[in-house]
Amino acid sequence: MGAIWRGTLRKLRVTPGEAGGAASYALADGFWNPSQRAPDLALNDRIGSPLTLRFTGAITCVYCGRATKKTFGEGFCYPCFQARAEADQCIVKPELCHFHLPDDPCRDEAFAFSHCFQPHVLYAALTSAPKVGITRRENIPTRWLDQGATAAIPLAELPDRRSVGLAEAR
């Protein structure tokens, strides 16, 4: 059987179903240059059919495309991991946001305003076990579907990522 899709695999793209219907999933290309990404490959019609993924051995940075032997964070080469705001410690632990610290400001102010200084929601979700998490308001319900939640409920909405991270850490 020939290849049906070729790309730099990232997390599955998920689209919520209409009125409680099934969500749609697709393979999504995460190639660093958006103009060269392969189109998504819908997966719902392939449920129950065999699918083989083959690793070609090529590892490239999701930000700059540099070839690397291993990745850091969510797929960065080491230089991008050290420099990009998307790889900062506060992405994993939002309560550690240091934007407000004059001696240690955010690596990228524009990223902070577009990503961190947006309304965020603290939620409880039922996945394989109960889970408490956070997400930007615009990512509901997609974030819950990404995690395989069968049910979820917002607990609080706060104005920014750090505030909701502090609430979650309590």
The answer to pTM > 0.85 is no
Stretch 29-45: mean pLDDT:
93
Q: Which residues of 47-84 are buried (b: 16+ CB within 10 A; e: fewer)?
A: eeeeeeeeeeeeebbbbeeeebeebebbbbbbebbebb
* Beta-strand runs (E) in the chain: 13-15, 24-27, 41-42, 120-126, 130-136, 151-158
pLDDT at res. 82? 95
User: Cα separation of 61 and 79, whole Å?
Assistant: 10
pLDDT in tens, 54-81: 999 999 999 999 999 999 998 999 999 9
More confident residue, 158 or 8: 158
- pLDDT tier, 112 (very low <50, low <70, confident <90, very high otherwise): very high
What's the pLDDT tens digit per position in 75-101? 999 999 999 999 999 999 999 999 989
pLDDT, one tens digit per residue, over 4-36 is 899 888 889 999 988 778 899 999 998 989 999
Residue 1 is predicted with a pLDDT of 63
